[in-house]
């Protein structure tokens, strides 16, 4: 049973990606392109925020809507990573690492959305496979 959005594995994965994005964009190359830096940071934060807002809505339909927005933001991050790589702001290894993390979030969100669409349970009754390990 999920008591808070922090219990969700996908939120924790999104938090890790957000921290990695902030770390990798804190470079001289990225600082010269503040537009892209700010946009990719906002998109990463949006993933986490939409998961949290949806969970807190406490209705399945709204949660699914917010998870869809989070999935869209994960796609936005992946797109912006291509730009960052093409412009030489990040190397290929960093691109692959961050892109893989964003794709992992997309898959997690897809599975959670699918679960919620096919379930009649409440938001807080999310199956344990979607939750983090006990604290």
Per-residue pLDDT tens for 52-98? Answer: 999 999 789 999 999 999 999 999 999 999 999 999 999 999 999 99
pLDDT band at 124 (very low <50, low <70, confident <90, very high): low
H/E stretch holding 92: helix 92-117
Q: Span 5-130: which CATH code?
A: 1.20.1440.60
48 Cβ contact list (under 8 Å, min separation 6): 11, 14, 15, 18, 70
């Amino acid at each position: 049973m999920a008591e808070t959005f922090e219990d969700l594995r996908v939120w924790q994965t999104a938090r890790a990606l957000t921290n990695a994005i902030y770390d990798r964009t804190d470079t001289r190359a990225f600082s010269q392109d503040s537009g892209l830096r700010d946009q990719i940071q906002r998109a990463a934060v949006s993933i986490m925020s939409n998961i949290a807002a949806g969970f807190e809505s406490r209705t399945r339909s709204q949660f699914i809507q917010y998870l869809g927005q989070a999935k869209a933001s994960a796609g936005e991050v992946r797109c912006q990573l291509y730009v960052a790589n093409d412009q030489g702001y990040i190397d290929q290894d960093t691109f692959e690492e961050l892109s893989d993390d964003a794709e992992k979030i997309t898959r997690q969100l897809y599975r959670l959305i699918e679960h919620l669409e096919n379930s009649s349970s409440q938001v807080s009754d999310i199956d344990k496979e979607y939750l983090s390990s006990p604290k």
